[in-house]
Structure 1
Amino acid sequence: MLMCGCAWLKYRRLNTRAGLVISHYDTLGLEKDCTHSDIKHSFIKLSKELHPDTNPPLSPDLHQRLLAVNEAYSVLSRPHQRRAYDQSLSVGERTNEGMRQYGDIRTNAPRHNVVRPHGTYADPSIYANRDRTHDRDYEQRPYYGVRAIKRKLPNSYIAAGAFVFMAVGAVFHFFLAKLTSDITIHQLDRRDQAASEHLQLVRQQALTNTKEIQMALIRQRANDSAANK
């Protein structure tokens, strides 16, 4: 999709007076389903008609048309560039669906939102361009949707409120992180204490029992483990 969009920007020709996009097929006077032979024949024919030897002296308009014909042929005569160009045309056609031209303005907005007394575009989604006839309907409503706040607050109040909210959130986050850390450390201390007590018990048993008793205990544990399996 991105490549098609880039091709559309690269290969399109714009008639600024009419506000219309002229494709390379239009430049050569051909349809989109034309063959390579049609493209070559039309290019040769137009090149002869617009060549400076045929139209001395060559006017700026004819020169621009000749450049457009050469550009159109350079794109459409190469199969891979033609495929990319055809895809870009499809993207451009979908993008331009519903677009209308109002003087120098090209948009899909309704006419009453574009043509104003000053002839400029006015986006109704911008607060300054709103329909002011409905302002009275909102005079008794709270500005922020909160009943305690009836009017718009200065920006300094909003900035101060945001700073206080951030400060409270930072303090809450600090205490929450500290509480979580204390709980984790306490659990680790309990595990270390249990492991230490078990190690002391093993050492006492090793010092109390003889080598024969220890080997017997090991064999007993191995037998119990095998029996449980």
Structure 2
Amino acid sequence: MIITRDTDALLLAAVRDNAEWCDAVCRAHGVEGSVGADAWTSARRTPPLYPDAVSLSPTAAAAALVDPIDTASPGCSVKDSFASLDLAPAGFEVLFEAQWIHRPAGPAPAAASRLEWSEVTGAEELEAWEAAWDGTESGGIFRPTLLGEDRAFLAGRAGGRIVAGAVVCFGAEVAGVSNLFARDPADTDATWAAVLDAVAARRPGLPVVGYEHGEDLDAAVRAGFAPLGPLRVWLHTGGEAN
């Protein structure tokens, strides 16, 4: 697959889009982050599954991410957006590794799907969406204030129940995809197709970015995405700095 825009520019756009999504989730919980030249950081512990710091530059120093955050609280994590940091001396361990991904603008090829797709429009529906995403129940991570014209919570339904979905953030340069899920793996390709169709309908011309790993990365590649570069997520495990 040929990437039609400068790869470095796309990577930086993907990183910044994801950091802005993390910031939006945090602000919905009353947690205000801070943006510097090299990193986004939060002095307060962030909502579950969301990082306390995100590197914005491949030359960011470890101290720029670790020093401003609360490493004493359980669950503290850092998104090393360029897989360029060694945070082990600060008491972190690698939680997982992934790849930033990119696809040029354009709808998905026509394909049959058993799912009916729409956008989440209210608090009750958002709660049902989160329960489907989580697989058990809504934990209140996604607040209604996140619903808006610059974001879409896509919901795929079978028999009236939400069984698949994704979040799309529409930025000036890219559309960022996150939290993509399908309760039945057989619906994963249809979910990616729904994302691409939603972007093409609302903001035609925007390239689509995100990050995935493992089988989820394989599914993104089937949808026409190509890797942009690696990232790591580090979890603070309570070790002392060397």
Q: TM-score with structure 2 length normalisation? A: 0.19
Larger % of helix: which? Answer: 1
Structure with the larger RCO, 1 or 2 (CA within 8 Å, 6+ apart): 2
Query: Whose Rg is larger?
Result: 1
TM-score (norm 1): 0.20
Instruction: Please state which structure has a larger fraction of its residues in strand.
Output: 2
